Amino acid sequence: MAQLNITLNQEEILQLLSTDHDQAFRELLKSSLNSILMAESTAQLKAEPYERSEERTDSRNGTRERDLKTRIGRITLTVPRHRNVPFKTLVFENYSRSEAALIASMAEMVVNGVATRKVGRIMETLCGTSYSKSAVSDVCKDLDKKVREFRERPLTGNYPFLTVDATYFKVRVNHRIISRAFMIAYGTNQEGHREILGFGVYDNESKPTWNAFLQSLKDRGLKGLLMITSDAHEGIQDAISKVFPNVPWQRCQFHFSKNISEKAPRKYQAGIRADLQEMWNCEDVVKARKKRDSIIADYKDVAESAMKCLDEGFESSMTVMILPKGMRRFFRTSNHIERLNKELKRRSAVIGVFPNEDSLLRLMGSVLLERNDVVSTQKAIFSNKGYQALLASDAVPKLIKLAEEQRQLKAA
């Protein structure tokens, strides 16, 4: 990977920060993105400027200027040119995708007559220009196509681990503002890399909607599942037992700890959470059960409801203990999808109420597509060798057996 050098004039930036914050941030962003463009050019040419190298694939041929619209105004970037093979960059595509979705969503509010004058002024501030109805339509069509292709892509290969969750957004439907459930599936493939596998907008979180969502993943080719992590929503549990009957459920330990401690008197909550953390970190399920029994014995007289919750939900929160120790911490909670939900909320805050479900799907889908580009290139959680070792171990039959026990318990 080429070295990234960002050169900034400290005095100018500090001066701008004291007088014009927006201009200062534009200069910072411009310098950063220009440095990325130069680093991409070096990586493609396999040579620094003026460097003599046998590995060099082409030579530089000057630069050209190209504008990029951002939420802090328009900036002009310096794009390298190559003499024979065209220079390629992901800067404009990756940066602009979710940016364009935000613009399109806000513009659509204006077109549909939903927005106020304030929204119009916000658009002018964000985009630096106004958008005609035809321009909005073109942007929406392009984004809809990219989001649809990402959302409906075939799922090839094995995905041993899956995490699912939902968050809510306000949408205008038939002149009323209502909440819609936005469901997300976060998977880990056999190479140990995480991917956003699916998402969708539903009326609510229920058994039918969760069944439909998980079935849509299965129809697209999701296979090789060994475990599914989520909170304790009944709809999710029902869908797992019906759509993936041989896959056990891992109850999110973070949510479970919260469920338990909130049922206890406030003065005992901190102590219970600390003891639960020790329980989660036990080396095996036998030691974890002993710690559970110790916690229940210590608090049953002062936090009876909390201890009943712990006792009833303990086993479903320990599915992860079947996995090798090095894998457990990555799949015992749904915290990574919770962080993603927070990012979606942050990015949607400027919209407030989405004018329709298509607008919600467009913006959130674009953000997820952008996020997937990042997480899919991060360091693998485990290697394919580790995955093959897992398949060859006795963990797989244990997981299948546990899934059967969970189904029987649910049916009882």
The per-residue pLDDT of the chain, averaged, comes to 84
Task: Band the pLDDT of 346: cuts 50, 70, 90.
Answer: confident
DSSP string, 136-191: HHHHHHHHHHHHHHHHT----S---EEEEEEEEEEEEETTEEEEEEEEEEEEE-TT
Alpha carbons within 13 angstroms on the beta-carbon side of residue 330 total: 19
pLDDT at 2 over 60: no
pLDDT at res. 86 = 84
**DSSP code, position 128:** S
Cα gap 412→407, rounded to integer Å: 9
* pTM, two decimal places: 0.72
The upper half-sphere exposure of residue 176, i.e. CA atoms within 13 Å in the direction of its Cβ, equals 4
Q: Is the pLDDT of residue 221 over 60?
A: yes
pLDDT higher than threshold 90 for residue 116: no
Lowest mean pLDDT, pick from 45-54, 245-254, 279-288, 399-408: 45-54
Check: CB of residue 193 under 8 Å from CB of residue 378: yes
Q: Side chain identity at 13, as an amino acid letter? A: I
pLDDT tens digit string along 13-26?
455 555 655 676 67
| 96 vs 315, residue with greater confidence | 315
Distance CA 305, CA 289 (A): 19
Looking at per-residue confidence, does 256 or 141 come out higher? 256
- What type of residue sits at position 257? S
Residue 391: how many other CB atoms lie within 10 Å = 14
Please tell me the total number of residues recorded for the chain in this structure.
Answer: 412
Confidence check: pLDDT of 317 > 50: yes
Helix, strand, coil share (%) of the chain residues, nearest 5: 55, 15, 30
Do residues 253 and 333 make contact, with C-beta atoms less than 8 angstroms apart?
yes
Mark out the alpha helices in 46-170 (DSSP H runs).
91-111, 117-127, 133-151
Distance of CA 343 to the CA centre of its chain: 8
Reported as a pLDDT band with limits 50, 70 and 90, residue 44 is: confident
pLDDT tier at 373 (50, 70, 90 boundaries)? confident
Q: For residue 100, is pLDDT > 50?
A: yes
Instruction: Give pLDDT tens digits for 233-267.
Output: 999 999 999 999 999 999 999 999 999 999 999 99
Domain boundaries, the chain: 10-89, 94-151, 161-364+380-411
Quick one: which of 61, 354, 338, 323 has its CA closest to 184? 338
The two structure tokens encoding residue 201: 């907008």
Average pLDDT (195-203) is 96
Is residue 273 within 8 A of residue 286, CB to CB? The reply is: no
Question: 274-289 in b/e burial notation, b at 16+ Cβ within 10 A?
Answer: ebbeebbebeebeebe
The larger pLDDT score, comparing residue 252 to residue 61, is at 252
pLDDT score recorded for residue 103: 59
Mean of pLDDT values over 309-319: 96
Placement of tokens 């909130």 in the chain: 262
For residues 211-236, average pLDDT = 97
pLDDT band of residue 186 (cuts 50, 70, 90) is very high
Q: How many CA atoms lie less than 13 Å away from 54 in the CB half-sphere?
A: 0
Higher pLDDT, 122 or 318: 318
What is the Cα–Cα distance from 181 to 203, expressed in whole angstroms? 6
Q: Return the higher-pLDDT residue of 20 and 200.
A: 200
| Percent of the chain with pLDDT strictly greater than 70 | 80
Whether 114 has a pLDDT exceeding 50, the answer reads no
The residue type of 183 is: M
